[in-house]
Structure 1
Amino acid sequence: MTLDMKKTLLLLLLGFINLFSISAQDKWINLDYATTNTGDNGLIGSWVQVIFEDSKNNLWIGTESGISIKKGGEWSSLTEKDGLVVNEVGDIEEDRNGLIWLATNESILKYDGVDFISWIFSL
């Protein structure tokens, strides 16, 4: 295989990767939420850092003011008052046991639906 053929194949491969990543980004859903703290019908904060859909199709939205959760048509929120180490949540994931894991700039938290277990970073 010549160098020109290798370059052509590499460009085609990169083009396909780019095409698939663009088409995956086109999957948007309508959240029907307000962008201010509106309690039961909106987000707890206006600066969204992460949006995560769990295995039960619940939306978890991490903001600078805590987490807003949309289960079915109902909204709820979690903040420091509920056990977050800090309100600003940067990442949300779910493990194979259905437990939710949260990352902040100060901690990692595991949430079982009732209680938080936190691991706090210290320098």
Structure 2
Amino acid sequence: MDKIEILPRYADNNMDYPGKDDVIFKSGNIVINRDDIDDILTNQYLPDNHVDAFAFLLSEKKRIMTNEFQPYLYISPLYRVYKGYKQDYEMFIQHINPDSVREANLLFNLLFSKAIGY
């Protein structure tokens, strides 16, 4: 059987449709609009909002099913952005305290490089 390679590519054009700016998820610093989903579906980059949304949903699952997940700490990639621009970054680290550090088995601190894409 021949090996077939499918190369990702950007969409030829962005769709315009009613309601594409509708907010489908919002929590704290996270805001995801309907058209943000187009980014994922058309092989474009994964924005920080999406990464934070996945982390939020994982933390909700962990809260509901406490025995199914290891304790972890998550640091948003936006923490470094806000800190770099000397903006208030407290919301990204307020969950980190001596107790949460002591209880955590894992640390998620996502590092991205624009050179290789998100």
Provide the TM-score with structure 2 as the length reference: 0.21
Which structure is larger by alpha-carbon Rg, 1 or 2? Answer: 1
Taking CA–CA contacts closer than 8 Å with sequence separation of 6 or more, which of the two structures ends up with the larger relative contact order?
2
